[in-house]
Amino acid sequence: MRLPLGAGWRGSCSAGASEFIPNDDTIHNYCNLGYAAGCPHLPADRDWDAIRFSVARTSVDQITLNFVCESAHAPAEHGKLTFDVVREHWITSHSDPRVRRLAACYLQSFRARQNPFIE
């Protein structure tokens, strides 16, 4: 199975009003599958149900990601995020810290698949 962020992840959940650490079942069944609409911790009033990433372009000095925020299985927002490989920072980012955090996870997974010696 292809995981949306390129690998399985653990950590805190920031979908609700306050962050918490989900248990292993929640992570396996909702978080790492990318569509958490059935998660009991997910607030009813939310901007998106899922955020998807893909690599749009790579070069020796930049990696550009496409992102799509989904609501009810339909695009609600989309755009591009560009990472400067040389300076190790985002050139274009997103205003929402949740999108930035997930983009960083996706980028880390992508870079590790390209070069397994990158941590």
Q: Which residue range forms the structural domain that includes residue 88?
A: 44-114
pLDDT per residue as tens digits for the range 11-69: 788 777 778 888 888 777 777 666 666 787 788 888 888 888 999 999 999 999 999 99
Tell me the C-alpha to C-alpha distance, in Å, between residue 48 and each of 37, 42, 84, 105, 114: 9, 10, 27, 18, 30
72 versus 119: which is more confidently predicted?
Answer: 72
Whether 13 is in a domain gets the answer no
Whether 10 is in a domain gets the answer no
Whether 22 is in a domain gets the answer no
Whether 11 is in a domain gets the answer no
Number of domains in the chain: 1
